[in-house]
Amino acid sequence: MRRAPTLAVLALALCLAWPACAEMVWRRGALGDPGSLDPHKATTLIESNILTELFEGLLSRDAAGRLIPGAAAQWSVDETGLVYRFRLRPDAVWSNGDRVRAQDFVYAFRRLMDPKTGAPYASILHTLKNAAAVNAGTAPPEALGARALDDGELELTLEAPAPYFLEQLAHFTAKPLHRASVEASGGDFVHPDRLVTNGPFLLKKFVPADAVTLEKNPLFHDAASVKLDRQAFIPLEDRSAALRRFMAGEIDSYDEVPVEEIGFVRRTTPQALKLSDSFGGYYYALDTRRPPFDDARVRNALSMAIDRTFLAERIWGGTMAPLESFVPPGLPGYGAPQAPDWARLSLSARQEEARRLLREAGFGEGSAPLSVDIRFNNAGSHRATAVAVADMWRAIGVAATVTGTDAVSHYAFLREKPPFGAARMSWYADYPDAQNFLFLGESGNEGLNAASYRNEAFDALMREAAAARDPAARTAALRGAEARLLKDQPFVPLMAYRSSHLVSERISGFEPNPLDVHPGRYVSVAPKP
C-alpha cells in the first residue's frame, strides 16, 4: 500500500526544485594548499585567507579591507598611547557554545610568544610589552603585556606607542584560541573534528590537493548576515588549469590570472577580470650568512643587473609594476618611493658597474665565475621570472641556475633556511604601514628574515622609529632604515604586486582593495541560470 507523501517530503522536493533553496557555495580557487591552519604556525596568504574565515580577532575587516569591530565591541587607549582596553561583545561565542573570554586572548598571545611554539610570525606582535623578551625565553609568559581584567575586558600594554597597533589586531596571529580544546588535542587541535573556532565559518574537511571545506558557523554573532552556506578552497598551483576550470564554471573565483592569458581574458570575459593596486612586493632574498652573498658588492651587482621593467611588462603582462624600493608605493603617510643610487643609471651602465663590483669581489677574468641558484615555487610566472633573471645575470658573467618546487616545499625551505643563493619571496602588507615591510630585515626576526640580514645601524633605526612619538620623526627613521636596506640589498626588490583576480559575475560582495582581503561573510553567490 502506497503512503501519501508527508509535508516534510513535499517541502524538501519543492526546495530542491527551487533555486532559492539551493545551498550557496563559494568555490574559491586557491594558489596552493595551506601549510598549517594553526594561527601560530601559518605564514602565507593561502593560510591567511582561510584563518580569517575560521577565527575572529579583537578587530576585523570589512569587504573593502577597512577595520571594523570584531570580537571586541569597543575599545579605548590611555593618554600615553600604551594601554589599550577592549570590551568583548557579549554575544561572541566559540563554535562549541563556550563564551569567548578575555582569557582566551591572553592564552593565545602567550602561546604565540612562547619560544616552544616556534611561531615564525611572532615578531609581528613584539609591539606588546615584554613580547620580545618572552619570545626570546628571557622573560616568563606572565610578563607579557596582556591581562584579563574580567571575562569580558582585556587590557593590552605596549612596549612603545604604535600607531598601527589596531591594524595588527586584525592579523591572523592575533586570533584567540580555545585553550581547553588546544591542550586536549596537543599539536593536532586543527583537525576538523577537533578545531574550535569563533569566526563566521567552521572547518568541515581538509583533503590535501583536493579542498579545504568550510561551513557556516550558526553560532557566529553575525550569522544572520552571512549568506554563504559553505566555502571550498580548491588548491590550483597551475594557473592555466585554474583558468580552464573557471571558464568551465567549476570554480567561482581564482586568486591570480595567468599572465600569458591576460589578453585572452580581456577579450573573452573582461567583466571577470579584477585588477587593482596592492600593498605587496616581489623579492629575491640572498643568503647573507655565507660567502659570497655576505658581500654587499655582490648583492648590489646582482640587483643592478636586473631589468625590472622587462619582468613587469613582458613576463607579467602589466599585472606587476617595476620595484626598486623595498617598501611598495602608496602606503599612507610614507612619502615617495626610495631607490638605490644606481637606479638612475641606464641598464647598460648598471651592467658595467655590476661587472666592476664583481671584479672587486674576486669574480673577474681568470677566476671562477660567481654561481647563483635561484629557488622558487612552481606556480604562475615564477619560473619565467627566474629564467629571465638568470639570463640577465649571465650577461654580467654570473653562472646562474634555477630550481623550482611546489609551494608547500618552497615555503618550508624559506622557514628552515638551509644554505641557498637566491630565493623568491613575496610580502603583502598585513596592515598599511611601512614598518610592516621593513621589520622583515630586523636581525631578531628569525622567522621571516629570509635573507638572515644582520645590521646594527638598521636595527637601531627601527628601534628609533618604534620609540618615536612624533609621526614625522617616526617616518624619518623608517625611511632611514629603508635607505640602509637598499644600500645593502639583502633582499632584491623586483616588482610591486597588482592584485589580479578572476571573479564570476554570480559573485556579489567581492571588493578589490590594496590589502587584498575578501572575507566570505560579505560574499553571496547567485544560482546558475
Query: What is the tens place of the pLDDT at every residue in 311-370?
Result: 999 999 888 999 999 999 999 889 999 999 999 999 999 999 999 999 999 997 778 899
**In this model, does residue 15 exceed pLDDT 60?**
no
pLDDT of residue 6: 43
- Name 496's Cβ contacts closer than 8 Å, sequence gap at least 6: 278, 280, 281, 282, 320, 321, 322, 323, 328, 329
Q: 282 has which bridge partners?
A: 426, 495
> In the predicted model, what is the mean pLDDT of the chain?
92
Q: What is the mean pLDDT of residues 489-518?
A: 94
pLDDT of residue 10: 40
**Bridge-based pairing state of the strands 146-150 and 211-216:** unpaired
pLDDT (tens digit per residue) in 156-198: 999 989 989 999 999 999 999 999 999 998 778 999 999 999 9
pLDDT (tens digit per residue) in 71-103: 999 999 999 999 999 999 999 999 999 999 999
Q: 232 has which bridge partners?
A: 27, 213
* pLDDT tier, 21 (very low <50, low <70, confident <90, very high otherwise): low
Q: What is the mean pLDDT of residues 461-465?
A: 95
pTM metric for this prediction? 0.79
Inter-residue contact 221 to 92 (CB < 8 Å): yes
**In this model, does residue 16 exceed pLDDT 70?**
no
**In this model, does residue 9 exceed pLDDT 60?**
no
pLDDT (tens digit per residue) in 491-500: 999 999 988 8
pLDDT (tens digit per residue) in 406-452: 988 999 999 899 999 999 999 999 889 999 999 999 998 888 899 99
pLDDT of residue 408: 86
pLDDT (tens digit per residue) in 303-321: 999 999 999 999 998 889 9
**In this model, does residue 65 exceed pLDDT 70?**
yes
% of the chain at pLDDT higher than 90: 80
pLDDT of residue 47: 96
* pLDDT tier, 18 (very low <50, low <70, confident <90, very high otherwise): very low
- Name 300's Cβ contacts closer than 8 Å, sequence gap at least 6: 340, 342, 354, 357, 489
**Bridge-based pairing state of the strands 399-405 and 371-377:** parallel
Q: What is the mean pLDDT of residues 197-215?
A: 97
447: how many CB neighbours lie within 10 A of its CB? 18
pLDDT (tens digit per residue) in 22-59: 799 999 999 999 999 999 999 888 999 999 999 999 99
Inter-residue contact 206 to 212 (CB < 8 Å): yes
